[in-house]
Amino acid sequence: MTALTGQIALVTGASAGIGAATAKALAAAGAHVVLTARTAKALEEVEEAVFQAGGSATIAPVDLTDGDGIARLANAVAERWGKLDIVVHCAAVLPELTAVRDIDQTQFSKALTVNALAVQALIARFDPLLKASDDPRFVHLTTSVASAPRAYWGAYAASKAAAEVLVTCYAEETRNTSKVRVAIVNPGATRTAMRAKAYPGEDPVSVKLPEVVAERLLSLLGEQFASPHRESVNPPS
């Protein structure tokens, strides 16, 4: 028996980076992990790594721009398990970094859909399953620019700020009426493909590995944190 034995966890963006590392950590702790992202092949690689380590997982390729796809996933989880104990929402897209006046509307629309609208869709579809759990937790990964905007980050910052507001409101709506606990976590500078895209000249070795964030998320999920909980993951000393 391990810490999360018998629990069902959904991880979005589970095909790479923080999402993949978190999925592996949750599975190692005993949870059955539902791995979701757009790319089935990458999910299969994470699933195989989970299996090789003795864990259990199910892949569920879903494009978060597809509301019907999110609904189908929720229905599948309901039919198979009847509950959901953990959601760790890692998925996000980074539009081009540019001045607000030059933001590409197509990219901005996609960022708003994936980074904000999908958050509401996930909450809408999975809230009943979370409330069927004895210890439900919803963890949302954010970014520093959501609360401290910087030049040229307008499109991404706006989409992530909107997501933070939605998640915070969800926390306020549920904390006195259910067992759902909500955490908003800023992973900080982490060695991911998104980070490399945003900072192409940065030495990747200078920032922490996704496994550092995953370790902290796993620890947090074992704590009786107050909802809404907020924190940033600092690099190891």
Q: What are the CA-CA distances from residue 101 to residues 2, 54, 151, 159, 236 (Å)?
A: 52, 51, 11, 16, 38
Amino acid at residue number 220: L
With beta carbons less than 8 A apart as the criterion, state whether 89 and 141 touch.
Answer: yes
- Catalytic, out of 152, 156, 170, 199: 156
- Known catalytic residue: 156? yes
With beta carbons less than 8 A apart as the criterion, state whether 152 and 97 touch.
Answer: yes
Please report which helix (H) or strand (E) contains residue 11, including its range. Answer: strand 8-12
Chain Cα centroid distance, residue 22: 9
Would you please indicate which residues are annotated as catalytic (active-site) residues?
A: 156
